[in-house]
Amino acid sequence: MMKKQLKHKLVSVANIDLLLFSAFIVSFFLHYRVNGFIAMLLIIWGLIKLLIKKLPFKGGLGLLFLPGLFFILVIGQVYTTDLKEGWTLIERNLSLLLLPYSIASIIRFDSKRLYQLTYTIVASAVGFSLLCLIYAGIESYQAGSIYTIPNNTHFLYNRFMHHRLSDQIDVHAVYFALTVALANSIVFQKITSSKTNRKNKILLVVLFLYFCGLLYLLKSANITVGFAICIVIILGYQYGKSLFSSTKKIVLIVAGLLLLGIITYKGVASKLENFQLTYDMSDETMGPLGIRLSIWDCTWQVIQENWLLGTGTGDSHHELMKKYHENNFIIGYENDFNSHNMYLQYWMSNGLAAMGLFILGFIVLLKKAVQNKNAIFLCFIVLFALFSLTESTMRTQKGMLFFVFFAALFYWAPHYLALKNNQE
């Protein structure tokens, strides 16, 4: 009888939810097919729960911008030329329809399951980053050098930096940095909590510094800046007016922000190589900043010709490639770059409606985060909004799934990881 009761508890709806949610978080560090497969399982499980009336499907009006983006992509097929490319993008975005509502079960998670979910976020970032560092060390030993041959889009990196580090697990460096920054925000909030004992704080400080070093190695300028903003947000929410109430606090805060400022500056400066705003598109040796500015210039040229409705779901990349060739932007067409800015990407492909709805989604989430005084929720929004300035985040499967999963997670459970509920 006891065995039957135990088995029943292990296969409960909440435990299956926790297992799938945790697996989904881990999958952000794995191949995109694994990530997509678990997303499909979450959707199927959500439909099953809906049929057996185990899905708390109520109050999801604020998430309608996600299905809305999907339907705008479908409408964009009416005036696109490359229908095949369009349907490929639509298929990739199917999760916008059902995944946000499959996450609604987070509402029924108790404090223990919420803690386990948080532990998965942080532990995954630690585990996979250590794996990357170990692989990089082995490769360096075998090659007799930490350095690799540079390509024409980046200056010389070693095997412990940027894509050379994250390639060990086949994950884009900036997406890796995004997850690390979110995990480190959670760690920092725990450090600032008065309920964390001294011994645990020491361990968390070590982990915090490890993640800061990792962010430096991953070389994502905007994520590094975003993380610095997250630290300020957490300090503001945690201490408020008492932030500068004592000399000791002031010294610690100034020292901490100074250290973070140095790390941020070094990370940004080493990635951008230089801050020169002038660029020559035909230059095959320009730095990362020049490349980004050239990409955005070409994207803007396409937008000016299709500013209201966009080019159509399947045609935007073709039109961008044409502009690269017209402007003799050699690096752009040889590397097949997308617009590297999700706001411009939506505007270019599906017009003002798509870009406007994407921005509206951030506003809805921001309002909910502020209303519930949830610093980590706010950090997620800041990180992804900044991330979308330099990457076409929703055009890649992992970027889109990361946003949909965490946006829905925080939307349905706006107090998750909020300090006042001691769920950090």
Q: What is the pLDDT of residues 294-317, one digit of tens each?
A: 999 999 999 999 999 999 999 999
Least confident of 52-61, 315-324, 383-392: 52-61
Q: What would the two tokens of residue 199 be?
A: 């011994």
Asked if 348 and 339 touch (Cβ cutoff 8 Å), the reply is yes
What are residue 158's phi and psi, to 5 degrees? -100, 180
- Encoded amino acid at 203, one letter: L
Q: What is the pLDDT of residues 193-243, one digit of tens each?
A: 888 888 899 999 999 999 999 998 988 888 988 998 999 899 888 877 666
Mean pLDDT of 339-366: 96
pLDDT at 9 over 60: no
Between the alpha carbon of residue 226 and those of residues 114, 178, 410, the distances in Å are 25, 9, 19
pLDDT at 424 over 50: no
Asked if 404 and 30 touch (Cβ cutoff 8 Å), the reply is no
- DSSP bridge partners of 158: 147
The C-alpha torsion from 350 through 353 and 359 to 365, rounded to 10°, is -110
Helix (H) or strand (E) holding 321: helix 316-326
Residue 2 confidence class, pLDDT cut points 50, 70, 90: very low
Least confident of 138-142, 167-171, 229-233, 278-282: 278-282
Q: What is the pLDDT of residue 63?
A: 94
Mean pLDDT of 276-300: 85
Q: What is the pLDDT of residues 162-178, one digit of tens each?
A: 888 888 888 889 999 99
Q: Which residues are within 8 A (CB) of 185 and not within 5 positions of it... i.e. 6 or more apart?
A: 227, 230, 231, 234, 375, 376, 379, 383
Cα separation, 209 vs 219, in Å, equals 16
Share of the chain above pLDDT 70, in %: 87
Cα separation, 201 vs 255, in Å, equals 17
Residue 384 confidence class, pLDDT cut points 50, 70, 90: very high
SS3 158: strand
Residue 159 confidence class, pLDDT cut points 50, 70, 90: confident
Query: Greater confidence, 269 or 407?
Result: 407
The mean pLDDT value of the chain amounts to: 87
What are residue 147's phi and psi, to 5 degrees? -90, 150
Helix (H) or strand (E) holding 351: helix 342-371
pLDDT at 154 over 60: no
Query: Greater confidence, 325 or 10?
Result: 325
Residue 323 confidence class, pLDDT cut points 50, 70, 90: very high
Least confident of 41-45, 115-119, 193-197: 193-197
pLDDT at 57 over 90: no
Q: What is the pLDDT of residue 1?
A: 46
Mean pLDDT of 179-186: 96
Q: Which of 104, 63, 174 is nearest to 396 (CA)?
A: 174
Cα separation, 240 vs 250, in Å, equals 13
Q: What is the pLDDT of residue 34?
A: 93
SS3 159: coil
Share of the chain above pLDDT 90, in %: 60
